[in-house]
Every structure is written in C-alpha cells, then in structure tokens.
Amino acid sequence: MRILIAEDDPVLADGLTRSLRGSEYAVDCVNDGAAADHALSTQTYDLAIIDLGLPRIEGFEVIKRLRRRSATPPVLILTARDALQERVRGLDLGADDYLTKPFQLLELEARVRALIRRGSAGGNALITNGRLKLDSTGRCATVDDQALDLSARELGVLEVLMTRSGRVVSKDQLAEKLYGWGDEVGANAIEVCVHRLRKKIEPFGVVIRTVRGLGYLMDKSAA
Ligand code: CA
C-alpha cells in the first residue's frame, strides 16, 4: 500500500510520514502542489493525503487535476480548523474525507484505514489462494485461520502476487509497490524477501514461481 502526503508544514509532514511508515505503509512526501500533481500523474497510489493550503499549486487544484484522470486513489484533505467552506469545496471537488488541524495521529490512521478499505472495496480486501487468505485491510495473512508471521514487506509482496495471481510480476513492479522514493532498495532486497516468504507459505501448498528474466508468478489456486 503506497500513500502520497502533500503537506508544506515540515513538522506535520514529518510526523505523518513517520506515523504511516510505522503502520507499514510505503510513503512518499512532497511539500508543494506542483510536486504533488507530478507525483500523482506519474505514480500509482492507494491513497493521497493533501493539505489544501499548499504553495505553487493549491490543494484544490491538485484534487481537480487528479479527478480529471481516470483510476485515481481516494483523497483525504487536511484543512485549518474553522475553514468549513474549504472543507465543503474540497469534498465537492471529489475528496473522500477530511481532517481539521490539529488532529491526533490515531485518528488520521483510522481514517487512512477506512479510506484504503473503501478504495479497494471495488477490488477485494480479502484475497484467497488455496488455504491461504490475505486481508489487505487488516494487513494479515492466515492459513486455515491461523495467522502467518510475516514482515511488512513480505506481506506487501504477497499482496501484489496474490492480487495478480496467474500473471508475472516483475521485481520493478514489486519494488515500486513496496518502497517510497527515499528508501534504499538493495539489488537483491526483493529476492531476499521472496525467499523468506516462500519458506513461510510453501509448506501450505502456495507456490511462488521464478520466471527467469521476468519476475515472479503465483499460480491461481485450483479451488
Ligand atoms: Ca499548508
């Protein structure tokens, strides 16, 4: 799950980024509207958190441009405390939810979970492959209802492979899904992660195949 944060207050931006990374999301953070617009038109996000008062291009305009494109992520806007009209205008433009500053990080995290759940509701938050079940909202995987002990990245890899089961997923696609811009992606980080994941799920009959030169593939379950 990858989130874009557009916020020009450095302290708040830093707090949001840390908090969401702590909740195992990949986070990109920008501090002006032009950078937000660029990021949203070139990358794929599961959620955008946009401050309305942004330099260069204001938040409203970023949302307006975003909504003109197809297949856009849910948007959570951040506004000043008594800016009712701003809030209404933001929602009218197609934002999905808002938070007024100052807010508690716990509340932000709850809204983020709800929006991501809603965003993937068209798809399915619960994916099954044989005995393996993945709840991408609750961020856990189970086999026969027993939780698997997976790291955040293993869970991320599993999610991408299960979502696209039957199709080849390249290492680049995995890296893009799992890491924000600031993150260092070691040459074999993905391989190591897939290796660990295999050891945990293959005993239950779920196989990740290596497609040489292309990437990885998880077979669709027979069931
Ligand atoms: Ca601002």
The contacts of residue 65 (CB under 8 Å, 6+ apart) are: 37, 40, 41
CA of 137 to the centre of ligand 1 (A): 29
Whether the upstream peptide bond of residue 73 has omega within 30° of 0, thus cis, is: no
Residue with tokens 């990021």: 39
| pLDDT at residue 120, as a whole number | 62
- What span, in angstroms and rounded, lies between the C-alpha atoms of 78 and 80? 7
Please state the φ and ψ torsions of residue 75, each to the nearest 5 degrees.
-125, 130
CA of 142 to the centre of ligand 1 (A): 41
| pLDDT at residue 126, as a whole number | 79
CA of 106 to the centre of ligand 1 (A): 20
| pLDDT at residue 138, as a whole number | 66
| pLDDT at residue 29, as a whole number | 97
CA of 51 to the centre of ligand 1 (A): 6
| pLDDT at residue 9, as a whole number | 96
Straight-line distance from the first to the last Cα atom of the chain, in angstroms, rounded to the nearest whole number = 27
In this structure, are residues 61 and 38 in contact, taking their beta carbons and an 8 Å threshold? Answer: no
CA of 209 to the centre of ligand 1 (A): 47
Domains contained in the chain, CATH given: 2-121 (3.40.50.2300), 126-218 (1.10.10.10)
**What is the chain's Cα-based Rg?**
18
pLDDT along the chain (223 residues), means of 10: 95 95 92 96 92 95 87 86 80 87 91 82 69 80 90 86 87 80 71 94 92 89 61
- Strand-pair category, 47-51 with 2-6: parallel
CA of 39 to the centre of ligand 1 (A): 18
- What span, in angstroms and rounded, lies between the C-alpha atoms of 129 and 74? 27
- Residues whose CB is under 5 A from ligand 1 (ion)? 8, 51, 53
CA of 16 to the centre of ligand 1 (A): 14
In this structure, are residues 29 and 7 in contact, taking their beta carbons and an 8 Å threshold? Answer: yes
| pLDDT at residue 137, as a whole number | 66
SS3 annotation, the chain: CEEEEECCCHHHHHHHHHHHHHCCCEEEEECCHHHHHHHHHHCCCCEEEEECCCCCCCHHHHHHHHHHCCCCCCEEEEECCCCHHHHHHHHHCCCCEEEECCCCHHHHHHHHHHHHHHHCCCCCCEEEECCEEEECCCCEEEECCEECCCCHHHHHHHHHHHHCCCCEECHHHHHHHHCCCCCCCCCCHHHHHHHHHHHHHHHHCCCEEEECCCEEEECCCCC
CA of 22 to the centre of ligand 1 (A): 23
CA of 11 to the centre of ligand 1 (A): 11
CA of 12 to the centre of ligand 1 (A): 10
pTM for this prediction: 0.63
CA of 43 to the centre of ligand 1 (A): 23
CA of 148 to the centre of ligand 1 (A): 41
Residue with tokens 């701003």: 86
| pLDDT at residue 136, as a whole number | 72
Cα 26 to chain centroid, rounded? 6
CA of 105 to the centre of ligand 1 (A): 17
CA of 7 to the centre of ligand 1 (A): 6
- What span, in angstroms and rounded, lies between the C-alpha atoms of 172 and 100? 37
- What span, in angstroms and rounded, lies between the C-alpha atoms of 149 and 200? 8
| pLDDT at residue 124, as a whole number | 54
| pLDDT at residue 182, as a whole number | 61
CA of 6 to the centre of ligand 1 (A): 9
CA of 178 to the centre of ligand 1 (A): 28
